[in-house]
Structure 1
Amino acid sequence: MSTTNMQDAIVIGGGFYGAAIAVYLARQRGMKQVTLIERESSLLSRASYNNQARVHNGYHYPRSFTTAYRSRINLPKFVQDWPEAVKQDFTKLYAIARRNSKVTANQFERFYREIGAKIELASPALRSLFEPRLIEEVFLVEEYAFDSTQLARWALSELQESGVRIRLNTQAIAIANSPNQSLNITLAPEGKDREQISARYVFNCTYSGLNQFGGDFPGTRTALKQEITEMALMRMPPALSDLGITVMDGPFFSVMPFPARGLHTVSHVRYTPHLHWADDPNTNPYQKLDGYQRDTRVDRMIRDIGRYLPSVLGSEYIDSLFEVKTILSKNEGDDGRPILFEKHETLPGCYSILGGKIDNIYDVLEKLETENLSGAQITSSEQAQ
């Protein structure tokens, strides 16, 4: 097994979080030797692509003040930092179901006015799209979508300009302590012999694979839940082609623009999750997904959504995105999406990081700003001067 030179930092996982953290370490923390490890053949090709592509503004979380408020704060930052990737040219509606909703229309409106989010009653023309016997109220809000292919182009360009080394088709399989106060990472490049790389810091940004490491890796203290999910890709009829729609908060479904394909995703609280299990180091989520049958449930999604939004019955099914979704077990009840940010005491210098949605990246970067990452060539304050 070959060994490569010491690195300042290794970032494992080439999704949006891994790429953004690697750029941050190189640019804001002055690290000269940063390597990004990705098991796939391209960046941002797994969970960063296979999702609803929603840039949240808080409306999704009326039962989690912290998540809702942080989304409202983070959205304008995201739009400013990645304008080419943000799709704003559609109308976004949130509708509250009359029955089985965990919030009423009055509660929903009052909550978002209190946190300063834009919300107003939808026009009669937009309200006429919904079945009034099932929908209590419809609100016009401000929420966007993102194009993950544009973010992938940004990631590749920024990583290269920042001097970050990118290793694709390479899996990190073990993290271990080293006698010289560094960490040894065992790599398994596709079609090649295993090798070892050393670094002062390791950032585990593997999302569903957070606990899939051997060596001295202790696992996350925070319990995780894994789900195999299906996002149906649909071509909407003209009445819905320029809309994004979410019905809350119980029946709960969404029809959202998916800019990367010029289509819409359709998700449903009952039919999008196909299979779930408590995260376990002995259960590889990627192998579980690879072996899953992937029979679509789109007919059941559309049949139920059509009761609330009749014109969706005229949509055309194109494809489905299947992926493993990872959430913190403690937030199943309130739908909150805080970040996971853990320092492993028995593996000094190793961090595990997970965000439930794309705008959580700012929460991660704020946490990193408080870390004393010794070994960086210059500090973040020096970088700013």
Structure 2
Amino acid sequence: MSEAGGVAVVGCGVFGAVAALRLAEEGYRVTVFERNRQPLAQASFNNQNRLHLGFHYPRDRTTAEQCIRGYERFRKEFSECVVTDFPNGYFVAEEDSAVTPQEYLDFCDGVGLTYELVEPARYSPPVTGVSLGMLTEEAVIDCAHLRDMLVRRLDASPATVRFGTDVEAVEARGEQFAVRTADGVAGVFDAVVNCTFSDTNRLTRQLGLPAPDRQYEYTAVFVVDWDHPPVGVTVMDGKFTTLLPFGRSGKFLLYHVEHSVLERVTADLAPSAWRDPDFGTLDRTGLEARFGRVLEGATRFVPSLRTARLHDVLHGPRVVLARRDDTDARPSMVESPGPGYITVFSGKLDHSVWAGDEVVRMVRAHTAAR
């Protein structure tokens, strides 16, 4: 690396934090820019916290295999943050599922997933309206614990982290990049790693690089109180519900593929209003009405959930590949659209370890070629 340079990592969700730590371990001088006041403040925290093993993607083997690849590496790296002491069941709906029970079993066997068949009516809680049930070894991530761990690791690392600093632009300057914030040019770097997720294309377009359309979704994951021991219920494969423990909090996360999406836009950029961390599309009355629809969809399969009570909501933008409804493909991608400029695109927290390795490999290849 040149004396004037270093590596800028934009975004300090789990992918930005892990990439920064890995780069710093390799001897690179790293500066992290995060517009929020703490790491994991948006998409990394505002999700289902599922530690994916691949069960969720029977229509896209690539995504499933990436999940299998990432699962054990994440568990090893962040074992303290992984919650495994609960039954976690997957079920195939009797109606409107995109896969049949046999297709789902064939998929699980084909990618080498381990499971135990279970009678849905004997599961706790009993699950209705499904034709197949299985116990899995999937876990969840306690994101509050993960955030604390990453804060400690970043504090102990040589990386410089600038919280509350919004990157307004990235400009090419010959073989280097100027990172501009509201205060002006914050530094000139030899490489930039864009881990902003929903804001990736904005910076990419500024560099004159291709920025393909994405499907942007503003979602609400509901935090609920429910008088039941920790348990997971995921109904496949369509516009159904997921219930998972909210880390070790004693509460649950309730999500519905359709009703939890408050807005959906397919474009090259997300709506600019979504960049505001305080942005919300529903007032309390609207939020409770939306929760009612999510709960109605959930009790179709888990009748005992009718006693669940709304506690809080995790809301924010997420991004998936556009026009993939036929396969539900959700791969993670670490790419270099231009020399020295790397983008990380993923909604799977447990892919962050291998993605960090890919970032290091790409930065090393770029700096070695200079």
TM-score by length of 1: 0.87
CA displacement at 1:331 relative to structure 2: 3.1
In structure 2, the residue matched to 1:186 is 180
1:103 matches 2:91: no
Write the mapping of 1:104-253 to structure 2, written as runs, cut at 5 A.
Answer: 104-123=100-119, 125-126=122-123, 129-131=126-128, 134-179=129-174, 181-188=175-182, 193-213=183-203, 216-218=206-208, 220-238=210-228, 241-253=229-241
Q: In the alignment, is the contact (CA less than 8 A) between 2:8 and 2:192 conserved in 1? A: yes
Q: Who is 2:11 aligned against? A: 13
> Which of 15, 23, 26 is equivalent to 1:25?
23
CA contact (8 A) 1:130 1:308 kept: yes
Distance 1:302 1:323 in 2: 20
Distance 1:282 1:107, change over 3 A: closer
CA offsets, 1:37-64, max 9 Å, x none? Answer: 0000111111111110100011100101
Q: Superposed, which structure 2 residues align to 1:33-48 within 5 Å?
A: 33-48=29-44
1:219 is displaced (CA, Å) by 5.0
Q: Quote the offset at 1:209 in angstroms.
A: 1.1
Deviation at 1:356, TM superposition (A): 2.1
**Which residue does 2:279 correspond to in 1?**
290
Q: Tell me which residue corresponds to 2:321.
A: 328
Question: Residue 240 of structure 2 contacts residue 297 of structure 2 at CA under 8 Å; is this kept in 1?
Answer: no
Query: 1:257 is aligned with what amino acid?
Result: P
1:275 maps to 2:263: yes
SS at match of 2:335: strand
Q: For 1:325-364, what aligned pairs fall within 5 Å after superposition? A: 325-345=318-338, 348-364=339-355
Contact 1:101 1:248 in 2 (8 A): yes
Residue of structure 2 equivalent to 1:306: 299
Distance 1:282 1:300 in 2: 26
Root-mean-square deviation (CA), in Å?
2.3
**C-alpha deviations, 1:147-176, integer Å up to 9, x for none?**
112111221222222200010000111111
CA shift digits 1:51-104 (9 cap, x unpaired): 101000111001011111221232122111101100001100011111111111
Please give the residue correspondences for 1:52-131 in structure 2 after superposition, counting only pairs within 5 Å: 52-123=48-119, 125-126=122-123, 129-131=126-128
Q: Which runs of 5+ in 2 are unaligned?
A: none
1:234 Cα deviation after fit: 0.7
Of 50, 68, 72, which residue of structure 1 is paired with 2:46? 50
Taking a change above 3 Å as real, the CA distance of residues 22 and 309 of structure 1, as seen in their structure-2 partners, is same
What residue identity is the alignment partner of 2:345? L
Gaps of 5+ in 1: 378-385
